[in-house]
Structure 1
Amino acid sequence: PGSPWRDFYVWSDTSEKYKDARIIFTDFESSNWAWDPVAQAYYWHRFYKHQPDLNYDNPRVRREILRVLDFWFQMGVDGMRLDAVPYLVEREDTNCENLPETHAVLKELRAHLDRKFSDRLLLAEANQWPEDAAAYFGDGDECHMAFHFPIMPRLFMALRMEDRFPVIDMLEQSLDIPANCQWGMFLRNHDELTLEMVTDEERDYMYKAYAQDPRARINVGIRRRLAPLLENSRRRIELMNSLLFSLPGTPILYYGDEIGMGDNYYLGDRDGVRTPMQWSPDRNAGFSKANPQKLYLPAIIDSEYHFETVNVENQSRNFSSLLWFMRRTLAIRKQFKAFGRGGIEFLPSDNTKVLTFLRSFEDENILVVANLSRYCQAVQIQMPDYAGFSVHEVFSDNRFPDIAEAPYTVTLAPHSFYWFALKEPVVSTLPEADQVPHLQCQVTWSRILGSKAEAQLMSTIMPYLRRARWFAGKGKGIRRLRIADSITVPVHDQPVYVLQLEVTYTSAPREHYLLPIAFAGHDLQMKIVRESPEAVIAQLALKDDEGIVYEAIYDEDFRQMLLDLIVRRRSLKAGSGRLVARRGSRFSSLLADGVVPEVSRILKVEQSNTSILYDHTFFLKLYRRIEQGVNPDVELPRNLTEHTDFANIPAFAGAIEWQSNQGAAATIASLLEFVPNETDAWSYTLDNVERSFGYAQTLKDKIEESPCVPPSILDIDPDTLPLPIRDFIGPVYIEMAVLLGRRSAQLHRALASLSRSPDLTAEPFSLLYQKSLHQSIRGMTLKVLAELERSLPKLEDRTADAIRGILAEKKTILGRLRRIAERKVRARKIRTHGDYHLGQVLYTGKDFTIIDFEGEPARSMTERRLKQSALRDVAGMIRSFHYAAHGAILLRAVRQGADIDYLERWADLWYTCVSGTFLHAYMREVADADFVPPDKEDFALLLETFLLEKAVYELGYELNNRPDWLMIPARGIVQMLR
C-alpha cells in the first residue's frame, strides 16, 4: 500500500464486489478475485489468478500502454490483437463487459495510433454476440478489426449437421459495420474452438460431435487444431477453408493449420495447440536445434501427424499437398475484391445440404457453392437476376453452362465446393428488338430481289454486316454495298437467297462476302428469335406476310441443303454463274453405314469463317470472304487425301464453288471428315505447362540457383535429357513433342511428294529467291520497329524498357537477317501449311491431327499458295511453344499468385527443351529429304531467320491487338540475339 505501482492493479477488501461478472475459466477458477497475503487484499483477475488485471482507470496505466504500443510499432509490428478487450474496466452492478469506459480507452488508443502509426492495425478479441462485438468498431474510431466469434462454431455445426441453416442464421444477424473496418474470420484460434457464443444445446451438440473425449474439452471450448477436429479429412479441411476465405471478412489463419498439423491435448491447458511449428523432418521439426528436452513444448509425435511426415518442407515438394492448396486458394482470393469488400446474398436453392451465396463488389460477382454433406449432392439455385451471365470456375477459368431463367443446376462431390465468377454477357452487337430495322414493301419475298425494295433490303444488311464476326471490314469506311450475284435456293415454301455481296471501301480494295438470307413468317420467326437472336437482320412486312429477314445459315434445312449439294454433286444456277458441288474420292467411305447425317449445328467460335458440324461425321467450313482462285484449304487437303498416304489430317470429302460465266471460280465451302478429339494442342500444352510450373514451384525453396537453360534448341536430344528436366516437363509430354515433330515432318514429306501440277511440285532454292526473301522480311521488320518506336509512350514501363532494348539492337537484327541473302542454301521450296502453330493441331488423346490449311487469312489467296521453306512452318510451331510457356504465366500463373520472375526462368527451360525435342524428332524424320538443307549451318541459318521473322511479326501483331502480350515475342527476340 502506498506504492504507485499498487494502483496499476484492481484491489478490494472483499471478494463480493462485481458479483455479476461471469467467471471465464470455470475449469480452473472459482472466483474472479484472489487473495494476496503481502498486500492483505484481493486483486481482480478475469482469467487465471497468475494474470492480475490492469487498472485502466489509472491514467498512468494508459500512458504506459501507449508506450508499449510505441515500442512494438517502432520495431515494425504491423498490428496487435487486443486480448479480452471487453473486460478492460470494472463497474459495480454490471457484468463488467462492454462498458462505455472500455470504449473510451479504445478511442484513446486509436487516436494515438492514428497520429503516430496510421498504417497499423488493432484487432479486437471480443468473444461476444455480433451486436456487442460490432460495438468495438465504434464509428470507425476504435478497433480496425474484430474477431467474429459466433460464426466459428456454426461453421462446424453446419458441417456436422449437413445443414446450411446455422451459417445463414448467424450471418443474417451480423450488423453493418463502418466502411473502414472489417470482421476477422477464423476457424479456430490460439486458444481453443470456443463455445461461449452458442446456446447450451448447441454446446452439448458440439462436444458430442467434435470432442467425445472429455480431455479434449477445456473451459467452454475444444482444445484441438483444425485437422484433428475434422478427423484429418482433406476434403473437409479444404471445404472449411474455402468457406473461411469466401465469407465476408478477412480470413485469419493460425500456424500449423496450413499444413494440417496435429495437437496434443494431454499437455494441459491450451498448450496442445501451441506446439512447435513443424518446418522440416529434422530435429525438433526444424523449429530449434536445442536439446528436445529444453523446448517449451514438445513437437507432435503422434503417428498420424508426426512432424517427420507433416511439415512444410515435405509439403513444399508436393504440389498436391494441403500447403499448396492453401497457397493457390489465397492467391485466387486476392484476385477478387468481392471476397474482401463485397456484400453477401444467400441464394434460394432446393437443397439445404448445400450452402449457396453470392459475393458482389462493383462489377465482380462470385457465386460460392459448398456441399456440406458427406455424399454427392445436386442443387438448383434461383438466380433469375443473372440470366444470361456466363459462369467461369475461378481456379481453372473453365466455362460452365450459362445461367438461364430456369434454376441453375450444380452437382457436387462429397464435401466439395465451387467458386464461380459470373460475368455479364458481352455487350451484344445485336440491336434491341425496337432497334431492328423495319421494312415494309408491296412485293412478295420471292420477288424482292430486283424490285425497288432491294435497295431497302441492302440498307438493313449494312448494319448486320458490321456486327458479323466474320466481316473483316469493320474498321474501314464503306462507300457502297451491292449484290454482285445471287442464287435462289428452294428450302421452305419461301426461297433462300445466297448473296454474293460486293463491298466497296473508301480507301481499300473492294471485297466480296457470302451471305445467305431467308424470310421467316410468324411461327418460324419465334424459333429463330428465341434460339439464334444474332441471326435477325430486319423486321419485314411483305405484301402477303409479316416476319423477319434472317441469316439462313441458322436454318437447319438450309444447312442440310448445303450437304445435299455435295452428296448429290448438284449445281445451282446463279444470275451470272452457277454453284457447283463436288465430292472427294473418300466421301462414301466416310459415311457411317452409308447414311447421310441429318443433324447439324453451328460451332460457336470466333473466326473469319462459319463452321458447321454434321452429326460427328462431317465438318463443313463456309468461307465468308469470297476470293477467286484455288483455295489452299481445299487444294492441299484434297491432294494429301487422294494422292498421299498421310493420314494425320481430316480426310477431304467435298467442296462447293461459285463459278462465274467467265470461268473464274471461288470456293465457298469445304467438307472434311470430322475427327473426334480431346482438345487442340494449344490447350493440351497449356495444361502441361501449368503442371510443369506447379512442379517447379515445389522446388523453389530447395534449389539455390536458377535452372541451367541449354544454349540452343539445336543442342537438345530428348534421349539424353537429364532426369530432373524430364520430371519437370513430364515424360508423357516429351513423347508427345517427339510425336508432333514426327507428324510435322511426315506432313512436309507428303507435301513435297505432290507433283500432279506445277503449283504443287517442289522447286530448288536460288540465291535470287533468298535475296527476295531477305527484302520481304527486312521490309516487314523495319515497319514493325518503326511502329514500336512510335508507340513507346503508350506502353507500360516494363514493356517499354524491353522494346527499347530491342530497338537498340536494330542493326544486330538486320545484320542477322542479311545473312540469308549472302550464302546459297541447298534446299527446296514446297507447299507448306502456311500458318502452323499449336492451335492448328488437334490432340486425339494418343495422336495429332493437323487442320486448317487456309494460311494466314490476311494474305491474298495467291500469296498463300506460294512455295516456301518447310522450316517456316517449323519456326511457327517453335514460336508457338514459346508462347505456350510464357503465355501460361500470363493466363494462369498470375491468377495463382506465382512468382513471375522465378517462373519465367523455368519457362525458358521448358521452351528450349520442348522445342529442341520437337526439332530433334523433326530433323530425324527428314534426314534424307531434299527440302531441308543437309548442311547443319545452312539449316541453323534458315531456322534462325524464320524464327526472327516470326517473332518480329508477333511484335507487330501484339502491339495492335494485345499489348499485354508484347513481352513474349520481345523475350523471344532477346533470347535469339543472345
Structure 2
Amino acid sequence: MTTSLLAPFLERSRWFGGKGRAFAVTGTRELDRLAPGPTGPEVVLLLVEVTYDDTGEHELYQVPLALYDEPQERLDHAEVGRWPDEAGRLAYDAAHDRTAMSLFLRAFGEHPGFVRLPGHDLDVDAVGSLFSGEQSNSSVLFGEDSVLKLFRRVTPGENPDITTHRVLTEAGSPHIAQLYGWIEIDELQLGMLQQFLRTASDGWDLALASVRDLFAEADLHAEEVGGDFASEAARLGTALGDVHAQLRASFPTSTVAGDELAAAMSDRLAAALDVVPALTAYADAARAVFAGVARLEEVPVQRIHGDLHLGQTLRTVLGWKLVDFEGEPAKPLTERLLPDSPWRDVAGMLRSFDYAPHAVAESMPEEDPDVLHQRGVRADEWARRNRKAFLASYCGEGGLGDADRALLTAYVVDKAVYECVYEARNRPTWLPIPLAGVARLTAG
C-alpha cells in the first residue's frame, strides 16, 4: 500500500497521536495475516512507521486491515484505500469490521502470537462491536463475554497493561477485569483480551451524579444526601490498597533518593511556569513542599497504576475495578515501566475527588453570587469528605506517618501542576480548578 494513502488515513484517525504535526509515513511492515472464512475478508496485521518533520522522531502504529474484493458500503467511513496486490482489493480498518474482528477472536489459542490464558471458556462465536469515543486505542466488545483492546501506538517490549493485568489475574485479584489473553508478534505486544464487566458503571460518572444530588439539595450536607459517595470512596481506597500490595509482592521493588525525586518535581514545575504563568504566585511554596521530599533519604518504589483517577475505575455489583494500567500516555514506555511510589496513584485519586464537584459546577452556568458561593462551599465539602474517606481506608489502622504525608502532599502538588498545564493547553476555562488546588495545597 502506498504511503500516500496511509498518511491521510492516519490524520483523520482519532487515535493518531501526531495530529497537527508534519510527518511522513516512512515504512510499513506486514506482521501477520489471518485467513478469511467462507465469505469474510483476509486480515493483514500492518505496522506503519511515522517520522515527524520537526524532530525526526519515529513512532509505530498498528493498522489492521480487512481486505475485500468488492466495496463494502457499511465500511465507507473506515476505508483506507486499494491494497497493492494483483487483485487490487479494497482495504478497510479491520477494527470497524465485525467479520474481520471475529477472525481475531477465533485466533486466540489457535494462531501463533495470539496467546490465551487458561481458566475461561471463551465464547469465540460472539459478535464484535467497536467502542466509540476512545482516544489512543481501539476496543471491540464481543457480546457480553470479552473485550479486545488493540493498541494503536506500539513500542517493542513489555506493555504494562498486559503484564500488570496478567500478574493480578494469576493472583486472583478481584479488583480488575481478568485477562484472557494477548497478541504478541515479533516482540510487539499488539492487544489484550479481557473480561467484559457487564454491570460496570464508570467511577467518574457516579461521582458526578453524587455531586449533582448534593447541589440539588440546598439545605443538606454531603453526608445527608441520598447520593453520598463517601462509602464508595472508602471501598475504592481498600481496593487500591489491595492492588498495591499484590503488585509489591509480584514485581521487583527498589528505592529512589528523596532529593532525586524532589528535583524531578521541581523540574516539572519550572517547565509548567512557562506554560501557566499564574503558577508563579505559588512556585516558592510548591518548592518548599518538594524540599520536604528532598530530606528523605530513600523512598520505596514499586509497580503502580501510573495514571489513576476516577475515570480509570469501574463500579460493579462485585465491587470496584481498576482499569487501564498503561501508565501516563504522554510518557515514553521506558518511563512508564519504571517503579514509582504508590503515593502517586493515591495523589491521582485525591485530585480526582477535588475535580469532580468543580467540574459539575463548571457545567452549571450561574450568575447569582450567593448561589455561586453556596455551590463552592458544597463542592469543597464534597471533595474533603471523599478525600478523607478514601485516604483513611487506603491507609488502614496505621494511618499516615510524617514521611508518607510529606510524600503524598508533594505528589498531589505535582499532579495539580500537571493538571494546570493540561488545562491551559486543552480547556483554558477549567484552569481555575487545578490552580485553586495548588493554592490550597501550598497555603501556609
TM-score range, shorter chain: over 0.9
Q: Does 1:605 align with 2:138?
A: no
Please say if 1:745 is aligned against 2:287.
Answer: no
Q: Whole-Å Cα distance in 1 between the matches of residues 105 and 384 of structure 2? A: 45
The alignment status of 1:646 with 2:173, answered yes or no, reads: yes
Partner of 1:525: 72
1:972 equivalent to 2:428? Answer no
Question: In 2, Cα distance between the equivalents of 1:894 and 1:812?
Answer: 33
Residue in 2 aligned with 1:883?
Answer: 355
SS in 1 for 2:293: helix
Look up the match of 2:285: 812
Structure 1 residues 948 and 544, CA, compared in 2 at 3 Å: closer, same or farther?
closer
1:907 aligned onto 2:379: yes
Distance 1:694 1:882 in 2: 19
The equivalences for 1:781-860 within 5 A come to 781-789=269-277, 803=278, 806-824=279-297, 828-845=300-317, 847-860=319-332
- SS of equivalent to 1:587: coil
CA distances 1:565-602 after superposition (whole Å, capped 9, x unpaired):
2132x21xxxxxxxx121123333xx4xxx43331111
The separation in 2 between residues aligned to 1:874 and 1:561, in whole angstroms, is: 40
Measured at CA, do residues 648 and 935 of structure 1 come closer, stay the same or move farther in structure 2, by a change above 3 Å? closer
Distance 2:348 2:422 in 1: 14
* Percent identical residues: 29
* Whole-Å separation in 2 of the counterparts to 1:898 and 1:519: 62
Distance in 2, Cα, partners of 1:950 & 1:563: 39
**Native 8 Å contact 2:305 2:325 kept in 1:** yes
Bigger relative contact order, structure 1 or 2, given CA contacts below 8 A and separation 6+?
Answer: 2
Q: 1:583 aligns with which of 107, 116, 141?
A: 116
User: In 2, are the aligned partners of 1:682 and 1:839 still within 8 Å (CA)?
Assistant: yes
Contact 1:690 1:892 survives alignment (8 Å): no
Matched, 1:566 2:57: no
Task: Give the Å deviation of 1:725.
Answer: 4.8
Secondary structure (helix, strand or coil) at the match of 2:109 reads helix
Using the TM superposition, give the Cα deviation of residue 733 of structure 1 relative to its aligned residue in structure 2, in angstroms: 2.1
The structure that has the greater radius of gyration is 1
Q: Secondary structure at the match of 2:296?
A: coil
Provide the TM-score with structure 1 as the length reference: 0.43
1:552 maps to 2:17: no
Kindly indicate whether the alpha-carbon contact (under 8 Å) linking 2:42 and 2:68 is maintained by their aligned counterparts in 1. Answer: no
Residue 248 of structure 2 corresponds to residue 726 of structure 1: no
Corresponding residue for 2:155?
A: 627
SS of the residue 2:176 aligns to: coil
Mapped partners of 1:846, 1:583: distance in 2: 25
CA offset digits 1:913-952 (Å, max 9, x no partner): 1101110111117x3xxxxxx8721121011000000000
Contact 2:307 2:325 in 1 (8 A): yes
Name whichever structure is richer in helix by fraction: 2
Question: Shift in Å at residue 864 of structure 1?
Answer: 0.8
> After superposition, where does 1:381-392 map in structure 2 within 5 Å?
none
Question: 2:339 and 2:368 mapped to 1: Cα distance?
Answer: 44
Partner Cα distance (2:307, 2:87) in 1: 50
CA contact (8 A) 1:771 1:820 kept: yes
Q: 2:264 aligns with which of 773, 776, 801?
A: 776
Give the structure-2-normalised TM-score.
0.92
The one-letter code matched in structure 2 to 1:828 is P
Change (3 A) 1:541 1:741: closer
CA deviation digits over 1:644-670, x for unaligned, max 9?
2321101111001121xxxxx111010
Supply the distance in 2 between the matched residues of 1:907 and 1:652 (Cα, whole angstroms). 37
Letter in 2 for 1:690: R
Query: What does 1:123-142 align with in structure 2 at a 5 Å threshold?
Result: none
Cα displacement (A) at 1:543? 6.5
| 8 Å Cα contact 1:462/1:481 also seen in 2 | no
- Corresponding residue for residue 538 of structure 1: 81
Conserved? CA contact 1:597–1:617, under 8 Å: no
Contact 2:7 2:24 in 1 (8 A): no
Secondary structure of 2:229 counterpart: helix
Q: Alpha carbons of 1:658 and 1:955: their partners in 2 closer, same or farther (altered >3 Å)? A: same
Matching residue's letter, 1:814? R
Question: Aligned-pair distance for 1:863?
Answer: 0.9
Q: Is the 8 A contact 1:681 1:843 kept in 2?
A: yes
Kindly provide the CA deviation profile for residues 121-146 of structure 1, in whole angstroms up to 9, marking residues without a partner as x: xxxxxxxxxxxxxxxxxxxxxxxxxx
What whole-Å deviation, never above 9, does each CA across 1:175-231 have from its counterpart, x for those lacking one?
Answer: xxxxxxxxxxxxxxxxxxxxxxxxxxxxxxxxxxxxxxxxxxxxxxxxxxxxxxxxx
1:519 CA displacement: 3.3
Aligned mate of 2:336, from 864, 874, 896:
864
1:897-936 paired onto structure 2 within 5 Å: 899-924=371-396, 927=398, 936=401
Task: Provide the rounded CA distance (Å) in 2 between the counterparts of 1:779 and 1:975.
Answer: 21
Number of residue equivalences: 440
- In 2: Cα distance, 1:824 partner to 1:898 partner: 49
Distance 1:564 1:807 in 2: 56
